Each structure stands twice: as structure tokens, then as C-alpha cells.
Chains A and B, each alone.
Chain A
Amino acid sequence: ETGVTQSPTHLIKTRGQQVTLRCSSQSGHNTVSWYQQALGQGPQFIFQYYREEENGRGNFPPRFSGLQFPNYSSELNVNALELDDSALYLCASSSGTSGSTGELFFGEGSRLTVL
């Protein structure tokens, strides 16, 4: 059984650029959530995808968007990068939707630096 894998692990972008982060969910999981963890802070919920549909969104602007594919892997896209977007982006997979008590399994994250 493979765990949650994220790529790339580290990347550097400049302001105004666009970035795509990728996540492969754990085998058997159909739900993927994305979180942003700024330095010294707790993770903040960006959004969740269940069976390829967005199933909840946090307080992030529309330039943060996502996709989930039929194999339940997911992408997080951020357009028009700002300096404050520098953070560790965490992907978590689980089984079921918000009505379930499914445990979240986190990947090791993608660290984005915006210069």
C-alpha cells in the first residue's frame, strides 16, 4: 500500500507566475484535501475534492483552483503568485466525504517559495 505522494517537493517561482502541484492519493481513497501551511503556522484548509467534484472550500481566492482525476489523484493550481503564497502545501487523502469520520493521511508536502 503506497501512501500519499506529492510533487515537486520544493520549487521556486517569481511573483505573477503560475504553479501546479500534484498529489497521488493513498490506495483506496477517493477524497483529496489541500492545505496551506505558512511558516510557523498551522495548516489552513484550501479545498477538498470528492469523486472529481469540489466538496468544500476555505477562505482562499479564486486564483487557487484544483482538479481531481478519475484515479483520484489531484492537482492544485495557483495563478498570479504573490509573495504570501510562499508556504508548505499539504495534500491529504481519505475515504468518504465530510459525513464520514475518515482519517486524513497527509503527504510530506510541496514547499513553494515565491520571490
Chain B
Amino acid sequence: AQSVTQLDSQVPVFEEAPVELRCNYSSSVSVYLFWYVQYPNQGLQLLLKYLSGSTLVESINGFEAEFNKSQTSFHLRKPSVHISDTAEYFCAVRSRGASKLTFGTGTRLQVTL
């Protein structure tokens, strides 16, 4: 069995400030890790993923996440947020060889001026 914990349900931040959204997972086998973003009234969009190799992965819009196996974490960071980053962010894990993604409960990022 696997699980994902997103420690913060809401994160308010001012525009141009840095942000970190926390994600911890548990699994007895090797996993793939993902961050998805959901804008209001929309489906999920893949933000970035860790499959293997370099533990630091980056997205095209400035987000990055680092896979830390010893701490079983995959925190999402951005050095300077924009109003348009306001959305719900979901961390997800999939065991290698399994068919399902297990999602966390989400973190609402609210960026204000």
C-alpha cells in the first residue's frame, strides 16, 4: 500500500515571493512521483515528474521538485510566484508496475498582490 501526505491544505503567498509545497509519501516499493496542477473548473495538468536519474526535476514554468529518498519527500518549490500560479496542487505517487496513481489531498496555493 502507498500513501501521500500533503502537509498544508492552503498556502497564501505574495506575488514574487518564494514558495514551497510539501509532499511526503510512503511506499514499500520503488515509486514514480508527480506533481499535478488543477485550475478552477478544470482537469489535472502534469506539472513535473520524477521517474529516475537526477533527483531534481524542473517544469517549463519555473517550478522544481526534489526527490529525497531518505526523507520520502518530493517537495515542490518556486523561487518567485505569479498571480497566475494560483491553483490547487496535487502530489501523486505510482508504484513501479502498478496501474494506479495515489494522490494527496491537495494544497491550495493562493497568490496575492
Contacts and interface: CB of A to CB of B under 8 A. Distances in A.
A98 interface: yes
Nearest to A45: B100
Nearest to A91: B43
Contacts of B62: none
Given A43-B90, A90-B43, A33 B103 contact: no
B101 interface: yes
A9 B70 CA distance: 42
Contacts, number: 58
Interface in A66-115: 90, 92, 97-99, 101, 103-109
Contacts of A107: 43
Interface residues of B, number: 23
Contact of B99 (A48, A90, A108, A109): A48
A106 B45 contact: yes
Interface residues of A, number: 26
Contact of A108 (B43, B46, B101): B43
Contact of A42 (B41, B100, B106): B106
B101 A104 contact: yes
Contacts of B32: 101
Nearest to B41: A108
A56 interface: yes
A28 interface: no
A45 B44 contact: no
B98 interface: yes
Interface string B86-110: 0000101000011111111110000
A14 interface: no
